[in-house]
Amino acid sequence: MLKKTLKIFRNSFLFLVIFSVLFSNIPFYALTSVIKESSRVANIVDKAWNLSQDDNIVDKFNSLNEVAGWVKIHEARAAVALRGANKQGSGTNGSDITLTFDTGGGAPQTGDVVILYGGRGNTSDAQAFGPITSGYTPIATINSTGPKFGVWYKVMGVTPDTTVQGEGGASTAHGVAYGAYVIDGTTIDPAIFDQVAVSTGQLSSWVPNGPAIVTQTDGAFVVTHAANSVIDTSRGTVSGYTLFTAAAGNDSNDINIQTAYVVAGAPGTYDPPAWSAWTAGIGGAVTIAFKPAPTLTTTSLSNFVSAEPGNSTVAPGSAGYVDSFGLATNSGSDTVTGATVTLAAGTGARVATVAITNDGDTVTYCSATPSGDTATLTSCGIPVTTTNTQFKIRITAISHGSMPAVPGASYAVTGTVTAFTSTNPQAGTDSGSSTLTIDNLSPGNVTGAGGSVDNGQVTTSWTNPVDADYHSAVVLRREAVAVADVPVEGTTYIVGNTIGTAIVACVVATPTATCNDTGLTNGTAYHYEIFTKDTNGNYDVGVVPTGSPFTPVPTRTYYGYLNSGTAVTLPAVTTNAVCPVASDTNLGTVSGISLLDDVDDATCIPGATRDIIWSSSAPTFSFYYNGAGYASAMDVTGVSIGFRARSQSASAILTLKLFYTEPGGAKVYFTGTPPTQALTATRTEFTVSLAGLSATGVPAGSKLGVEFSWDDPLGVRISMNATANSEKLIVTETVAAVTLSVDGYTNETEAGLNYTASCTGCGARIGGGAGFRQTVTIAGIGFGADPGVGNRSSATNNIKIGAQQIASANVTAWSATSITFLTDSAVAGDTDTDWGAEFGGTSALTVTASGATSAGLNFYVFPQVTSLSTCNSAGFPVGDGAREYNASDSVCPNGLTDGEIFLNGTRFGTASTGGYVQIFGIGATTPSWTNELIRARVPSSALYTGSLVVQQGVGSNNKTHTYTSTNFRIFPRITDFVPTSGSEGNSVTINGNHFCQGAGCPVAFDANNKVVFTSAVQATVFTSWSATSIVTAIPTGAVSGDVVVTSNSYTSNGKVFTVLSNTPTPPISLNQWKNSGLTE
C-alpha cells in the first residue's frame, strides 16, 4: 500500500512538471506534436520526470519534438554487459572505503558507467556519506535514522578511474559498507537509464525487498540495491535474480548491503522479490533499470554463399572472376553504395578495372581503376536483404599494350572486399579468394630454325616449343635489311599483313613447323624472323633462322626446241600404246636431222625416256626457251643443264654453249668458256654446270637458248623427258635484277616540266587539291613490288625530292618500272611548311626500293601562284586586277589598298632577294614576302591587261611561274580635277589613267561608260575622253562629293569634287549711309 501511495504521489508530481515545462518555456506550437507523440509513446510521464531533474532542460530542448526523439521504445536491444568483477568493501568506526577496479580487460574503459552503492550505519548524526571520488551523480539516496544509503553513477572519461572511494563519516559509532560495479559502455544506451530509479525510502522492521519498476525497453538491465541495519551473513537469495557479493560494516550502528540483478524481457513491471533469508530491520532499497544499447540493424559481409569462382587464367585485356562474397542484413533491407577491394600485393598495376557484379554476371553495379593494390568503388547501388546473396568481383586486366615489354610475366591476382559502405553498420569479413592469373608471359622460342631457297620462294622450318599454351608461329619477312619490327601483343595476323616495315609471310598453327613463302623476287635478299604466340596472344622475342637473309634462286625451267627455234613435235606416247617393235624407228627428218625413236627403255608409257638421234651431217643444233622472253632487262648466269646422251660411235666430246636471241633476232653468246662433256657408247645421265657462263644486260624480250656441238662423225643420241607429249630439254639459270635505276619522269600536269637529260627547267609545282597539285610519273627499273597503300613512304621504300620525302598518301601507284606521285600540299607531310627550305635541284629526285637508293635526277620545285587577293571594299571591280599604286589610298578592310595585291601560293622563297613580281613585264614593289604570300604594288603602265609573273626569292632555284599571260588588268584611277571646283554647267577635266578599258575610248555615255557625281547624278555630255583625261560638264543636281568614272563596266576610285552654287549667298549684314544712298 505504501508503494502505491508513493507511486501516485510521484506520478502526480511528474505531470505538474511536464505541465509547467510546456506552458512556461516551450512554444505553444509544439504542444500538438507532443500530444500526438504521447499517444504512441508509453510512459512519457516517467521520461519527462527524468528530464525534469535537469534544471537547464529548456535550454537543452527547444521543443518537445526533441524530447520525442529521445523517447524511443520497444526497439531491438543488445544485452547490457558488466565489465570486470563486482567490488565491495566494509569498515568500522566511520572509516573511508576504497574500492580498486580490475586491471587489463576488466578495467573501466572510456564511456563505461561505474555504479557506486552503499553508505554507513546511523546514530542520528550528520556525518557525510557517499562518494569521495569526484564526478559521481546521485541516482537515489535514503538519509534516515536507519542506514544512510545511496546509489551514484559516473561515466568514465578519456582517463577512466582505477579506484572509487566511499565516505565513512569518521564516526566511531557506525560501520561502513560500499560496493561498485562497471557497466560496459558499448552495451548501454547513451541515456543510461531506461526508467527513473525507484526508492523505498526508510522502512522499519523490514525484510529487504526492492521496489517495483516499470521498464520501457526490451532487455532492460534491472538492478535492485538493498541496505539493512541487521548484520545477517545468510541473507539468502532473490528469486530469479543474480546476486552481487555482499558487504557489511560491523559496528554499533551496523549497515549491511547487497545487490541483485536481472535482465528483463519485454517492457513491463518488474518487482524484485524479497531476500529469502535476510532478517528484518531498518533499511531501504533502490531499484534501477538501465537501458540497453539498441541492437543495430547491420549489413554483414561473408566469404561466399555457394562457392568461390575457382582459379582461372585470362589474357591481357580480358576479364575473369576472382572472388565471390555474400551480403545480408539482420533485419529489413539496405543498399551497399561503395566497397574497397584489396588485391594481391604488386598486382594492382596489371588490373584495368575492378567491378562488382551479381552472381550471374548480368548486372554490373560499379567498377573502378585500382590505385596501387586497392580499388575504391563508389555509386554501387547493391541491393541487400535478409537473404544472404552472392556477388562476384570481376577483374579486367590491362591491355597487352600497357603490359611490360616482352618476355613479360604472369600475375596471380587475388581480391577480397576489405571494407564497404552501407546505410546500416557493417559487419563480417570476406576471408577468401580464388586466383585469377593474368598471363602476359611469352611462350618459348622456336629452336633449330633454318631455311632453304627455290625458284621465287623461301622455305623456313623449325621445332616448336613445348609450352602447353603454345598456339602458332608468325613468320615476318623484310627485304634487304633485317626485320626490325615485332608483332603487337594480343593481335592476330593473317598472311600479307604489314607490321611496320615487315610483312607477315606465314601464320603457322601448331603442330606444323614450316613456312613456304612464295611469290618472291629472285635475286632479292629476304630477311626472316620467327615469333611464337600462345593462346593468350603473347609473343616471344623472335628467332632469326640460321642462314637469313635468304635469296631465292630463279631456277626457271626453259623448254628447248630443235633447229633455230622451230618447234618439232614428236609422236605422242599414249597410255597403253603399243610400243614400236623395231629399234631406232625412223620418225622423219627435220632440216637434215634424222629423228629416230630409240625404244630401249623398260617401259613405254607417257613419261618414259625417248631418244632423239642427230646424224653426222648436222654436227650442231640448238634448243630455245619456249616462252615469250624476259619481261625486263636482266643479268643472267647459267646454272646447269641435265640430259642423257651417248655417242653413236665409241666416244665423243659434247660442247655446250648458252646464248640469247634479242628481239631483233641477233644471237649473242654468253661469255665464259663453254663446258664440255665426254660421251661413250653407253647412254649416261649428265648434269653439266653452266655457272661459268654469263650475260649482262640481256634486253627485255630476249629468248634463251643452248647450243650443242660434237665431234662424233656418226652423231649423238640425247634423251629428254617426254612430259605433256612433247620432247623437252630442261635448262636452269640464275637471274639477278639489274641495279635500281631511275631513267626519267614526266609531269602529267605541265608537260613543259618533263625531265630531259641535264635539264634545269624540269620538276613540278606543289599546290593544294585537284586544281593545283601536279602528277609526276617516274620511269625506271628495279622498283620492286608495290609496298602497298600506306607503305610507300618508309625508310626502305620512298620517293624524295632532296630532303623532302613524299607522303605515302601522295604516292598513288608503284610497280617494278613505274611510280606515280602527286604534289598535293593539302596532304599532311607535304604542306608548303613541310617542304621548308627544300626547292629541289640537281640530282634531287631519288627512289628508294627495298632499302636500295637510286642515283638522282634533276628535279626543281617551281613556285605556283594559286590565287590573287585584291581590295575588298564595296564597289571595287571584280577580277584579277588593281589600280596603279598610289600611296595616298585609304586601306581596304583586308589591309590592302586600291593599288596592291596579295599573291597566294607556294614555294615563293623566304624573302624577295633574287626574286621578283612582274606585272606587264614591269617590276612591282613587294613590301612583304614569304613562301606562301607576297604583297605587291601595281606599277605604272600604259597597258590595260597583260601578264603577271613571279620568280622565287631567297633559298630557292629562282624558278618562275606565269600566273597569267594576258588577264591581269589595271583598273581606272582618277588622280585630280581641273578646276578643283565649279558650278552646274561648268566644264571640268578629270585626270587619271586607264580610262579606256574597252577596245578603244568611249565615244558616248552609256550604262557601261559614264561619269557619276555625288547624289548619283550622271554627266550627260563630254567633249573629250582619252586614256588619261575626260572633259565633261557638271550636271544639274550635282553636289560636292566623290566622282566615279566607269569604263567598260570597270569603275574608278572615288575622288572628291566641289560643286559651287549658282545662287549668291544671302548677306549676313548690310550697312547703309543715309545721305549717300550706299549700301555696304
Q: What is the pLDDT of residues 711-737, one digit of tens each?
A: 766 666 665 433 332 333 333 343 444
Q: List, in order, residues 6 or more apart from 1078 with CB less than 8 Å away.
A: 1072
Q: Please, which pLDDT band fits residue 1011 given cuts at 50, 70 and 90?
A: very high
Phi, psi of 168 (to 5 degrees): -95, -20
Looking at residue 459, what is its pLDDT? 93
Q: Is residue 251 predicted with pLDDT exceeding 60?
A: no
DSSP structure string for 824-836: BTTSTT-SHHHHT
CA nearest to 613, candidates 471, 499, 545, 710: 710
Q: Which residue has the higher pLDDT, 44 or 309?
A: 309
DSSP symbol at 62: S
User: Out of 19-28, 939-948, 1046-1055, which region has the weakest mean confidence (pLDDT)?
Assistant: 19-28
CA distances from 140 to 130, 475, 495, 529 (A): 11, 96, 97, 96
Position 477 pLDDT exceeds 90: yes
User: Mean of the pLDDT values across residues 1055-1069?
Assistant: 77
Question: CB neighbours (10 Å) of residue 66?
Answer: 12
**Separation of alpha carbons 824 and 1053, rounded Å:** 39
Is 94 within 8 Å of 169 (Cβ atoms)? Answer: yes
Estimate to the nearest angstrom the gap between the alpha carbon of 64 and the chain centroid.
60
The string of DSSP codes covering 44-58 is HHHHHHHHHT-TTHH
Whether the upstream peptide bond of residue 549 has omega within 30° of 0, thus cis, is yes
Pick from 238-247, 379-388, 615-624, 800-809: least confident: 615-624
Q: How many angstroms separate the CA atoms of 706 and 615, rounded?
A: 19
Most distant CA pair in the chain, distance:
171
User: Tell me, what amino acid is at 445?
Assistant: N
CB-based contact 499:484 (threshold 8 Å): no
- The C-alpha cell at 421 is 559502405
Instruction: Flag whether the pTM goes above 0.75.
Output: no
Residue range 487-513: average pLDDT?
Answer: 95
What is the rounded distance in angstroms from the CA atom of residue 436 to the CA atom of residue 439?
9
pLDDT at 82: 94
For the ranges 44-48, 82-86, 524-528, 756-760, the lowest mean pLDDT is seen at: 44-48
Poorest-pLDDT segment among 29-38, 520-529, 671-680, 853-862 = 29-38
Amino acid at 638: G
Strands, sheet with 741-747, edge to edge from the N-terminal-most edge strand: 741-747, 775-781, 818-822, 811-814
User: ω before 699 within 30° of 0 (cis)?
Assistant: no
Q: What is the reported pLDDT for 453?
A: 84
Mean pLDDT of 64-86: 57
What CA–CA distance (Å, rounded) separates 933 from 923? 17
Dihedral sign, Cα of residue 100, residue 104, residue 107, residue 110: positive
Is 580's pLDDT higher than 80? Answer: no
More reliable by pLDDT, 122 or 542: 542
- What lies within 8 Å, CB to CB, of 988 at 6+ separation is 977, 978, 979, 982, 1031, 1032, 1033, 1034, 1057
Q: What confidence score (pLDDT) does residue 665 get?
A: 67
How far is the CA of 141 from the CAs of 136, 204, 284, 286, 868, in angstroms? 13, 16, 9, 8, 111
pLDDT of residue 801: 97
* Average predicted confidence (pLDDT) for the chain: 81
Phi and psi for 832 in degrees, rounded to 5? -60, -35
Confidence (pLDDT) at 145: 73
Q: Is 240 left (phi over 0), alpha (psi -120 to 50) or beta?
A: left
DSSP classification of residue 674: P
User: What is the pLDDT, as a whole number, of residue 648?
Assistant: 72
| Distance in angstroms (rounded) separating the CA atoms of residues 682 and 983 | 131
Least confident stretch, 577-586, 900-909, 974-983: 577-586
Q: Please say if the pLDDT value at position 864 is more than 80.
A: yes
Classify residue 437 as exposed, middle or buried by CB count within 10 Å of its CB (0-12, 13-18, 19+). middle
pLDDT > 70 in the chain, percent: 78
| Arithmetic mean of pLDDT, 178-188 | 94
Determine how β-strand 960-970 pairs with β-strand 881-882. parallel
Angle at which helices 44-52 and 2-24 cross, to 10°: 70
DSSP alpha helices (H): ranges in 828-879?
832-835
Residue with cell 557619276: 1012
pLDDT of residue 788: 93
N- to C-terminal Cα distance for the chain?
Answer: 141
Q: Say if residues 110 and 160 touch (Cβ distance below 8 Å).
A: yes
Q: Please compute the mean of the pLDDT values over residues 631-658 and round it to a whole number.
A: 69
What gap in Å lies between CA 856 and CA 895, rounded to an integer? 44
Q: How confident is the model at residue 629 (pLDDT cuts 50, 70, 90)?
A: very low
State the pLDDT at residue 571: 37
Q: What is the pLDDT of residue 346?
A: 94
- In the 3-class helix/strand/coil scheme, how is 20-51 assigned residue by residue? HHHHHCCCHHHHHHHHHHHHHCCCHHHHHHHH
CA distance 78 to 330: 13
Average pLDDT over residues 494-512: 95
Q: Which residue has the cell 572472376?
A: 321
Q: pLDDT tens digits, residue range 979-1005?
A: 999 999 999 999 999 999 999 999 999
Mean pLDDT on 173-199: 91
Grade residue 1068 by pLDDT with cuts at 50, 70 and 90: low
pLDDT tens string 684-716: 877 777 777 777 766 666 666 667 777 766 666
The mean pLDDT value for 575-583 works out to 34
Task: Judge whether 507 and 452 are in contact, CB under 8 Å.
Answer: no
Task: Report the distance separating Cα 716 and Cα 942, nearest Å.
Answer: 95
pLDDT digits (tens, 9 = 90+) for 431-448: 999 999 999 999 999 999
CB 151 within 8 A of CB 225: yes
Q: Which three cell numbers stand for residue 499?
A: 607490321
Percent share of the chain, pLDDT over 90: 60
Alpha helices, DSSP H, located in 592-723: none
Provide the residue count of the chain.
1080
Identify the pLDDT of residue 661.
72
CB-based contact 753:862 (threshold 8 Å): yes
CA distance 1017 to 182: 116
Distance CA 783, CA 792 (A): 11
CA 372 to the chain's CA centroid = 20
3-state SS, residue 557 = coil
Q: Which of helix, strand or coil describes residue 402?
A: helix
Q: Are 682 and 646 in contact (CB under 8 A)?
A: yes
Which positions ≥6 away from 136 have C-beta within 8 Å?
Answer: 114, 116, 130, 152, 153, 154, 164
Pairing status of strand 811-814 against strand 818-822:
antiparallel
Angstrom distance (rounded) from CA 238 to CA 234: 12
646 close to 683: Cβ distance less than 8 angstroms: yes
Omega before 407 cis (within 30°)? Answer: yes
**Spatial separation of the C-alpha atoms in residues 349 and 370, rounded to whole Å:** 8
Residue (of 863, 746, 768) closest to 824 by Cα position: 768
- Answer yes or no: is pLDDT of 866 > 80: yes
pLDDT band at residue 1061 under the 50/70/90 scheme: confident
pLDDT of residue 417 exceeding 70? yes
What was the pLDDT predicted at 1066? 61
Q: How far apart are CA 177 and CA 184, in angstroms?
A: 24
Say which residue the cell 564597289 belongs to. Answer: 875
Q: What confidence score (pLDDT) does residue 273 get?
A: 95
Give every CB contact of residue 886 below 8 A, 6+ residues apart in sequence.
897, 898, 899, 973, 975
Q: What is the per-residue pLDDT across 905-944, written as a single tens digit (0 to 9) for each? A: 999 999 999 999 999 999 999 999 999 999 999 999 999 9
CA distance 259 to 257: 7
Chain position carrying cell 615469250: 628
